[in-house]
Structure 1
């Protein structure tokens, strides 16, 4: 199978370098949302590529969650508990030693050095002394009957939906191409304000000296979206934003430049990018080296009635003093 999607190509190249990695580790390496990475890996695995997508869990924590016990497993690592103690066994007096044999060694049965001198329990065995067949020997009492416990009633856990399908819908549809979370109220404005095509300077999380420019907002961009093989649903439109970033300092910028590039609507909501890329409008790639200038395109899917008034960039999910906002209204 030939891989033509540039995002899939970049993801598989990173996975080939690692060989084996958790989904969140691979997502951090390529600068993508873990849910998008999980979806793409599952889809690629089913297409015939030599790729196995797995999952790992804490069985004890999961059983506790299903049983409705207090979620202490979520706050601390799982602990290993010893098995419950067996029933106490009455200590019997040691039998008298037989007379010594000709060489000073007892002529009858005797204990091996280091072995217990009295009867003892093997873990998981009945607590009373038993013969080989498991029936009581001599006059020792049998094991006490197990204590009766009332049966516990467990409500069947709800069947979870596929997180990929429930978040983005089916592939190649507009519901799948929406951002990884619904539109949310915009946070209080911070950082610098500018207008479209204006260059503004800011810093990254590691102190990187950056300059960013909003070059173009294509609204609507439905024909570009359809040409890439995606389908808009009734009442929706696509928007494509072209931005450029320059690293003016000596510290490499290691993130995806448009990770937190959002559209701001007139009603105060922030709209995140869609996890798709268009062949005719290349996406941003991860990392900007010192002295390097790179551009890229970001895709959004939103209700047709939404009026976009500005574009906001931030190095982290929540805006702060490093945030840049461009107004696109005349």
Structure 2
């Protein structure tokens, strides 16, 4: 029986198997879809489909830097136990290397080859082999005169729970030295942007609305209300200034020396920060919390 592209596509969607594995399964079973599914299951290649609906919010961030180019790649797993697995860590390391060489976006990275196999296929194979859902979720590329990396909560060299990249201009020796400190600062403070100029205008506008409403409400219930001019010309601008200083890297107090802002510390060191990236494992993923005791109680009540 002739194996069509549509048949291969259907089998891939049903099982999560790779294209070549799906084609081989259909060939081996003369195009019988159910038999092909069973064939993949016997080979351990259909596990991925069964795992695909599970939330992968653990994992590791891999970082690598070379010649003014740095990448941070987030590979998620379902459990922290798998994140400690040597096979998983090896996969993170190899994918990060590929990203450093060829990656420009997560889509490009997934299509790039890892030991002769597309990264996306290598990930599917790993899911079947290790037995947990995994997601290649994010990749950040940063370039500059000097790029410094830092990993927080390192699980192995070049990978951990938080990966940071910092790009700087200026003397390379000074940039490398203080760049590591800036990277540690970023890991700790999680700034939203480099400066006010790069902060999302919608975010700033939303914060302005919140602070305006808050100031007006506080003034309305105050024993001694302040004039509107004081509210709009002093209190609200003051709160917005604090918001910007707390959430922009250059405006933050430097954790190594809080008497200086990061911008001032960079200037004293003779360097300039031109960009950064901070990637934390599972950031923004909604984890489903399962209360086993409550589930059992509910079952007993319905019995």
Q: TM-score, structure 1 length as denominator?
A: 0.20
Q: TM-score, normalised by structure 2?
A: 0.21
In proportion to residue count, which structure has more strand? 2
The structure that is helix-richer by fraction is 2
